Chains A and B, each alone.
Chain A
Amino acid sequence: MVDYKKDFPILERFHYLDSAATSLKPIQVIEAEMEYYKEYPANVHRGVYKLSERATEMFERTRDSTARMFGAKSREVIFTRNTTESLNLLAATLGNSVLRKGDTVLLTAMEHHSNIVPWLMLKERVGIRVEFVELEGQSLDYEDFKAKVGKYNPKVVSFMHASNVLGTINDAAKIIKLAKRSGAITIMDCAQSAPHIKVDFSRLGVDYIAFSAHKLLGPTGVGVLIGKESQLEELPPFMGGGSMIREVSRQGFKPAELPQKFEAGTPNIAGVIGFGAALDYIKKVGFGKIESVEKGLLAYILKRARELGYIKVYSSQDVGNAVGIFAFNVDGVHPHDVSALLDEANVCIRAGHHCAQPLHSQLGINYTARASLYFYNTKEDVDALFCGLENVKKVFNA
């Protein structure tokens, strides 16, 4: 068995079970960032001297790796700050072009706030309609999906590939096919899927996908938006400034070609280069391995949880169709207290609504505790979690 822990030294001291919030970064990623700052800390795309050219090469190398891993062309890959910015870019630019008052944007009941609020902002600004596909258990209600596509004829269908609370992996192919019935632009929030399962942009035929480097072993401050070339060409620019223009006069400007058109200003160069190292690492591990480790551990978690009478599980128990997320509550104990007590044993989990308040309302609860996995976790981490939960039960006599 490969010992990943040596590349993530924090794991020697902590049982880190919050990778859905942000993953740990292997030393290879940290070193790649440091090397940029130490050896070639120049700006990209602007210099014709060696340092700048090396920075540009490394920066663009990450774009190429991203394109290869996700089945896209390099010019279809845009670097942003995070998933949130990628989705805001889309909402803002679609709101400035194709979306009109009364048009419907169809979302789902399980979305993260970052795929709800930008559309609600557009509702205020442009007067679009925002509708939601309902749940059926921990999955989407695909009949409702079909019905709502028929009823509202949405211009945009934006949905999460995998849920950050339920763990459920949505049937992307089916949704995209349904959405195409109304000719809708399709957007997929891959923040929770891209780190865990193979996502093939061109094969899915989706128009846009968005995700964050920091959940995929990469640094914070780097996000990705991949869009079909034909779609991106049609969109107006998002932010204006340096890098995103071909020429500027006092009267006007011509935007740059893709992908620079959407990359105004100096990007997070070190972060993007670090993300390149993260993708190399992921490739070495392989999605097959990532999935098998996570599914094995998730099955083990669910088995342990079933043995305890005082744990209510909210996340999907259909291990074959979920990413490694365990959302739960301990009877009679607030998840904040669960998390704080687990922290005493250096077990890191998250508590709250996980930026999915509408989902929690739908489930009839205010908050959950959430443990989430990545391939570097082990059975010992899960055992520490349950040992901690037994202590929670003891202290609160739940």
Chain B
Amino acid sequence: MMDVDYELLAERYKRPKHKKKLKGAFTGEASNSPCGDNIKIYISVGAEGKIRDAAHDGHSCALATVSADMLCDYAIGKRLGDVCNVDFEKMVRMLGFTPSIGRAGCVRVSLDAFHDACRTAMRTGKRRKTK
């Protein structure tokens, strides 16, 4: 297991690539109750079912913020159905280290928000198709 590189984490935390609000996008949200963190994920899907853009916003620590940022990176350009199942293990590979038990929640809050946004997108997509 690699140690956390705080310098790298701090760098991306200060300059996230996708921290913004996306108007008209599908949204998902999650909170990490012990620390009061809250993350919102935005996913905007193109006509052909591909994710056109993704973003995140909220109050969160470096680990949660960077996780959200990496999830957005990962999702953009892929099909919704292909990214919805991203799990903790995949997230750990993206981060390059396994968070300690006390900090796993920081990663999970972003994953939860991401999954929530995916579900919203899927649900709405289906409704549109059956119309």
Contacts and interface: CB of A to CB of B under 8 A. Distances in A.
Interface of A: 333-337, 340-341, 344, 351-353, 357, 360, 366-367, 395-397
Interface in B1-53: 4, 6-7, 9-10, 13-14, 34-38
Given A337-B13, A340-B103, A395-B7, 20 more contacts: A334-B62, A335-B35, A336-B63, A336-B106, A337-B63, A340-B4, A340-B6, A340-B61, A340-B63, A341-B6, A352-B35, A352-B36, A353-B35, A357-B36, A366-B36, A366-B38, A366-B59, A367-B59, A396-B62, A397-B10
Contacts of B110: none
Contacts of B67: none
Given A351-B35, A360-B36, A336 B14 contact: no
A348 to B, nearest CB: 11
Q: Name A's interface SS.
A: helix
A395 B59 contact: no
B60 A334 contact: yes
Residue picked from B7, B60, B62, most chain A C-beta under 10 Å:
B62
Given A352-B36, A367-B35, A367-B36, A337 B14 contact: no
B10 A395 contact: yes
Contact of B35 (A336, A341, A395, A397): A336
Interface of B: 4, 6-7, 9-10, 13-14, 34-38, 59-64, 103, 106
Contacts of A340: 4, 6, 61, 63, 103
23 contacts: A333-B62, A334-B59, A335-B35, A336-B35, A336-B37, A336-B63, A336-B106, A337-B10, A337-B62, A340-B61, A340-B103, A351-B35, A352-B36, A353-B35, A366-B36, A366-B37, A366-B38, A366-B59, A367-B36, A395-B6, A395-B10, A396-B13, A397-B10
B129 to A, nearest CB: 39
Given A395-B6, A396-B14, A337 B61 contact: yes
B7 A352 contact: no
